[in-house]
Structure formats: structure tokens, C-alpha cells
Structure 1
Amino acid sequence: MNPLIRLLRGMANGLGVAWWARVETQEPHVIYWFGPFVRRGDLEAKLPVFLDDVNSEQPGSIEHELMQVRRGEPLTEDLEPG
């Protein structure tokens, strides 16, 4: 990845204006975070490949939303009990 793009993404994320996709699955209950992106359009262009990858794990259901937020680790949250 271009170092300038990486820097811009990091700055946007630090300011809380980066675009992220919050992808939640059931069975198993997991939240995945996909980002950061400087522009919403860039996220929308790359999201289908990410959703296909998550879908290949055959979750019971999958929902997503796009948001501007500051996000850090972890990028995967397992919400299953135990």
C-alpha cells in the first residue's frame, strides 16, 4: 500500500472521520470491522469482496453498516459465550 494512503487512513482514523464497515454475523455471533477508508466510496467498492469472504464461513446471518468512527484493535470480536 502507498505510504501516503496509509498515513491518510491513520490520520482519518485518529480523528474519528475514517469510514469503517461493521459486519455482524449470527451463528457464530461475531463482529468484524473492515477499514479504515478515507472515502466512503472506496469502502463501498471494496466491501463486496470482504463480505464474500465472511460469507464463505457460512454464518447463520450477516448484516453490515457503514460508519465514520475511530477504531482500533481488535478488528474481530467473538461474542459467543464461553
Structure 2
Amino acid sequence: MGPIHGLRRFGNNLGLAWWAKVETSAPNVTYWYGPFLTRRNLKVNLSSFLEDLSIEGSDSIKHTLVRERRGEPLTI
């Protein structure tokens, strides 16, 4: 485990980590993408995740950026 991973985990445990809640309608799934230390870093990395979902055929992709503590499951 590297230092960045440890910082992300620590930030998540404190409820300070940034996450993206990504919802799709087909399939009807909620994905949690994160944790990230900064909102900016999340935004930079989120576009590739959203593109992957689109390529896989997901429809009506919506996302919200939130700062909170998340645990499993990360896909619902």
C-alpha cells in the first residue's frame, strides 16, 4: 500500500474523501467512483470512467460529486 492509498483511506474514514455517485438507467445501476483527495482530481479522472460506461452501452448516465465516507458496496 503506497502513501497516496493510505491518505485516501484515511480521508475516507474521516468523511473527507471525494466520490462520484454515477447512476445509469440501462442497466439500472449506481456506481460509486473514488475515493479522491480533492474534488479537482476526481473531476480530472471521472471523464474516463464515464466514457468507459458509455462504451459498454450504459444509457442515461448522470453523476453527482459528493464529499463523504463510503464503504462497500461500491456498485448497487
Q: TM-score range by the shorter chain?
A: over 0.9
For residues 10-67 of structure 1, the C-alpha deviation after alignment (integer angstroms, 9 at most, x for no partner) is: 0110011100000000021100000000111110110000001111122231100000
Please report the TM-score for the alignment, with normalisation by the length of structure 2. 0.94
What is the CA deviation profile of residues 54-82 of structure 1, one whole-angstrom value per residue up to 9, with x for unaligned ones?
111222311000000111111111xxxxx
Task: Describe the SS at the equivalent of 1:67.
Answer: strand
Query: Aligned partner of 1:15: which letter?
Result: L
What are the ranges of 5 or more consecutive residues in structure 2 without an aligned counterpart? none
1:72 partner letter: G
Alignment partner, residue 10 of structure 2: 11
Q: Which of structure 1's runs of 4+ aligned residues deviate more than 2 A?
A: none
Q: TM-score of the superposition, structure 1-length normalised?
A: 0.87
Q: Which runs of 5+ in 1 are unaligned?
A: 78-82
Mark the structure with the bigger radius of gyration.
1
Letter in 1 for 2:46: L
Q: Distance in 1 between matches of 2:54 and 2:20?
A: 15
Tell me the residue number matched to 1:57.
56
